[in-house]
């Protein structure tokens, strides 16, 4: 066991390039119509959908202290 270098591995060049690309992605980013559309969807549309759902269901459900046979929704 002494003297053997088990910790050394051959590096895969493709994995090395992928790691380099991932860590330097911010340097090469460009705004294109596709990236702008995706950013808009995640920054505006998705939170808007969750907000509408939250406001529509606000106060409708009471999940505390329910017994068997009691209704969960209020209206």
26 three-class SS:
helix
SS3 53: helix
State phi, psi for 73 to the nearest 5 degrees. -90, 155
- Residue with the bigger pLDDT between 9 and 60: it is 60
Q: What pLDDT sits at residue 72?
A: 74
pLDDT per residue over 44-73, tens digit each?
999 999 999 999 988 787 777 777 877 777
Q: Give the separation between CA 20 and CA 53, rounded to whole angstroms.
A: 41
Phi/psi zone of residue 55: left (φ > 0), alpha (ψ -120 to 50 degrees), beta? alpha
pLDDT in tens, 25-36: 999 899 999 999
């Amino acid at each position: 066991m002494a003297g053997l270098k088990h910790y050394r591995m051959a590096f895969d060049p493709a994995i090395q390039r992928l790691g380099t690309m991932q860590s330097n992605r911010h340097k090469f980013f460009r705004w294109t119509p596709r990236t702008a559309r995706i950013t808009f969807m995640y920054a505006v549309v998705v939170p808007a959908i969750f907000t509408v759902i939250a406001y529509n269901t606000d106060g409708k459900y009471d999940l505390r202290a329910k017994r068997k046979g009691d209704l969960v929704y209020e209206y």
